[in-house]
Structure 1
Amino acid sequence: MRAPLPPGSTIGIFGGGQLGRMLAMSALQLGYRCIGYAPAGDNVAAEACAGFFEHHWNDREAVSAFAARCDVVTWEFENVPVAAVEAIPADRLPTSARALEVAQDRLSEKRFVEDLGGRAAPHLRIDSEEDFARALESIGTPGILKTAREGYDGKGQWRVRDRHEAQGIRFPGRRCIYERLVGFESEFSVILVRAADGEIRFWDSTANTHEGGMLVQSVLPAGEWVEAQVDEARALAGKVADALSYVGVLTLEFFATGDGPVFNEMAPRVHNSGHWTIEGAATSQFENHIRAICGLPLGETATRFATIDMRNIVGEQALGAHRILAEEGEPHLHLYGKREAREGRKMGHVTRVGARLG
């Protein structure tokens, strides 16, 4: 195991979005400085970083210069090209690129989890219109066609309610996966943090609500369906983290069904459904990720309030978001500093908490 990084060390973050911004803010609190790397764009993480490299992922010279300034390197989203991560010296990577390889391909991640004893929805690989037709016969409807790689927040996904609707969906020309839609009582996520010595801590699992494939709300208490199945889901998430020798925050999403938890997808990073931990937990997911990758002791993950309600602020909702501050109670508003309030774009979130526990 590496010695803990001393204050003043530099953390490199691949990616320039809001997750990188919140990671950098937690790193500053612990005495570290951050630099970021991402292609040119609205890189809101740059505002919390001491420096930022705006270069293409395949610019090996720029990646090398970035790595030379870092004591440790992490990432804020799972679609960072594996080649960029593999260009970082191994002694600066607390987690190998293997976690990204698994998570970047929906087929690979389902097989990986199934090999560890988890259950996913019935699914098939789709490489052509003929494959899609055979999958409709074999798996049936309702279902969902997804690109095997990339795509998030509902992008690269086509719901198929019945055979008639399927006739209007064309194979997009790249490898996909077709899944049977799962009948579920609730959606939930298991968020854990794992240290280099194998210690794992879990946050409470929220019940999550999605619209159009995008998370809109996470609440605690999560309800009896989630509470009855979270132990089984945690056991699987722990196996995934151990199998990957993962260090940092890892998220697995599940459906709570009448037959137990069904795995949906994983994210080897801090997660939208864990934003409530900033105010709602003893240690936030962002701080614990920094602690883990820097070799510091993990923080307690206990929930601090009897009720918690986190909601995303999307698109033009951000334009009037400061009105939330006039609400009674304890609304905690986070705006990400994005310049353009496009439809479907996450602009911030608000967490409302109830009575303090203990």
Structure 2
Amino acid sequence: MIAAGGTIGILGGGQLGRMLTMAAAQLGYRCHTFDPNADSGAADVCAEFTSAPWADRNALARFAEECDVVTYEFENVPLGAARTIPADKLFPSARALEIAQDRLHEKAFAEDQGGRPAPYAQVDSLDDLMTAVGRIGAPGILKTRRDGYDGKGQWRIDSEREAEALRLPSSSLIYEGFVRFAAEFSVILVRGQDGEVRFWDSAQNVHNDGILATSCLPPASVIAAQIPAARALAERIAAALGYVGVLSCEFFATEHGPVFNEMAPRVHNSGHWTIEGAVTSQFENHVRAICGLPLGDTALVLPNVQMTNLIGNDVNRANELLGTPGMHLHLYGKSEAREGRKMGHVTRVWA
């Protein structure tokens, strides 16, 4: 167990690191963030900040020495950098990071645990793509295997003709069959060092242009019926990885049951509502888990919750939104509002 006053290291300095730092401070911990970007949102609130390239092994070693435990706030931390951290200090493990960084490995891993992803195929050439479209059908989505997020690195293909005309990027790709779904939802769990697992209620998610727009509770009935099966898969994934911390899995609710979309080995945007909407937030429980503390209660505070992302110029409506009863504002300290950039979020909780 890491005693209060200890130092938590965070690889990555974005808004998730910022909110982890704030939760850790409430439990008496100091946070030391490592990020190549010196203009980091977490830098505003953490006790210490190291800005150095991910390839700087000496800087990473010094960082690890100064921390009692280390975690990461996004899954695109280079695997080599994560493996610089001693394995007994890093939670979740580098293995979880390795799987989540590659969509092909991620889907195969979920299948190994009994999950059902969309039909998919590895694509390394135009011939591979044409074979995949012929076998799986169109429409479908061509994605980069690595580094894509919030709709980036994705191309919708509606026909074989479109596929044939596409100029493929040089990166490794995956083709996924289009899933006809009624709704999207997340399963977010926390797993302690002793293997205890707790779940938050599952929010119904709505995306615009590949970016999460809202997460709402309670979810539609079609989601509620599929939560037990989705939770069972998420728990098997966590157990197979020996996971410690918050794990997020996204699903499509379909007429044939839940279809696994992707996992994130970290706190997740669709769980931001837990700060005000749950007894213990995803951020606090992540800190509790990696520090070896007892896990907190994940129950809802009130039955209705809606989290809305403030994307780009939406941030200009912040004061207007604050006028709504029960509304809570979180801004991420980003100076420039750009299209598609998450600037903050608001959460409303009501009876």
Letter in 1 for 2:236: K
1:335 aligns with 331
Contact 2:9 2:70 (8 Å CA) reproduced: yes
CA distance in 2, matches of 1:271, 1:102: 17
- What do residues 225-253 of structure 1 show as CA deviations (whole Å, max 9, x unaligned)? 11000000000000000000010000010
Letter in 1 for 2:264: A
CA distance in 2, matches of 1:94, 1:16: 17
1:82 to 79, 93, 110: 79
Unaligned runs of 5+ in 2: none
2:322 aligns with 325
1:183 aligns with 180
SS at match of 1:113: helix
Contact 1:7 1:31 (8 Å CA) reproduced: yes
Contact 2:103 2:146 (8 Å CA) reproduced: yes
Residue 156 of structure 2 corresponds to residue 156 of structure 1:
no
1:219 aligns with 216
SS at match of 2:307: strand
> By how many angstroms is 1:170 displaced?
1.8
1:98 aligns with 95
Contact 1:42 1:339 (8 Å CA) reproduced: no
> By how many angstroms is 1:167 displaced?
4.4
Contact 1:94 1:196 (8 Å CA) reproduced: no
CA distance in 2, matches of 1:167, 1:335: 44
Contact 2:92 2:265 (8 Å CA) reproduced: no
CA distance in 2, matches of 1:20, 1:320: 24
Structure 2 counterparts to residues 243-282 of structure 1, below 5 A: 243-282=240-279
Compute the TM-score of the two structures, normalised by the length of structure 2: 0.98
Contact 1:100 1:268 (8 Å CA) reproduced: yes
Residue 345 of structure 2 corresponds to residue 349 of structure 1:
yes
CA distance in 2, matches of 1:94, 1:333: 29
How high is the sequence identity, in percent, across the aligned residues? 61
1:16 aligns with 13
> By how many angstroms is 1:322 displaced?
1.8
> By how many angstroms is 1:41 displaced?
4.5
> By how many angstroms is 1:168 displaced?
4.5
CA distance in 2, matches of 1:165, 1:331: 45
SS at match of 1:237: helix
CA distance in 1, matches of 2:330, 2:144: 31
Contact 1:158 1:169 (8 Å CA) reproduced: no
Higher alpha-carbon deviation: 157-166 or 92-101: 157-166
Residue 71 of structure 2 corresponds to residue 113 of structure 1:
no
2:40 aligns with 43
Letter in 2 for 1:306: P
Compute the TM-score of the two structures, normalised by the length of structure 1: 0.96
Letter in 2 for 1:201: R
Contact 2:137 2:177 (8 Å CA) reproduced: yes
User: How many corresponding residue pairs?
Assistant: 351
Letter in 2 for 1:345: R
Higher alpha-carbon deviation: 184-193 or 157-166: 157-166
SS at match of 1:90: coil
CA distance in 2, matches of 1:333, 1:208: 19
CA distance in 1, matches of 2:172, 2:81: 23
> By how many angstroms is 1:164 displaced?
4.2
- What do residues 140-192 of structure 1 show as CA deviations (whole Å, max 9, x unaligned)? 11100000111100000011123344344321111100000100011001000
Residue 274 of structure 2 corresponds to residue 287 of structure 1:
no
2:62 aligns with 65
Unaligned runs of 5+ in 1: none
Displaced runs of 4 or more, over 4 A: none
Letter in 1 for 2:15: Q
